[in-house]
Structure 1
Amino acid sequence: MQTLTRITRNTEVMGGKPCIRGMRVTVGTIVGLMASGHSNSDILKAYPYLE
């Protein structure tokens, strides 16, 4: 299994939910936005610090 270095988990950050490395943005938030039909450019406008 490949180690994902851009996703981290820390019990003291966002209740231990998987987050984008070094940020308080959960993976679930990004996946939820994508599932709702938001485009990559929409998401990057809302979270400009993401790659």
Structure 2
Amino acid sequence: MKALQRITFNPEIMGGKPCIRDMRVTVGMIVGLMAARHTPEDILKAYPYLEREDIYEALAYAAWRVEEIEVPLASA
């Protein structure tokens, strides 16, 4: 996966949730809007400070995160 440059983490912004370019727009919000059948055009119209690439990078980040697996550590 290529490095994601638009997804930021800052404990001072939205409690450290993954956000778009240090704005108060979380990846979860973008994914939720898409899941509710809003188009990228709808989202860009509602949030004019976002860019189309922000939306696609948020989706790429979310897809990457759901593919993670947890590997249990051996107990001591």
Tell me if both proteins adopt one fold, taking TM over 0.5 as the criterion. Answer: yes
Matches for 1:7-26 after TM superposition, within 5 Å: 7-26=7-26
- 2:27 corresponding residue in structure 1: 27
Percent identical: 75
Which TM-score applies when normalising by structure 2? 0.62
Aligned length: 51
**2:37 is equivalent to residue 37 of structure 1:** yes
Moved over 4 A (4+): none
Which TM-score applies when normalising by structure 1? 0.89
Aligned CA-pair RMSD: 1.0
Distance 1:4 1:39 in 2: 22
* Gaps in structure 2 of 5+ consecutive residues: 52-76
Distance 2:34 2:10 in 1: 24
1:17-39 deviations in whole A, cap 9, x for unaligned?
00001311001001100011001
* Gaps in structure 1 of 5+ consecutive residues: none
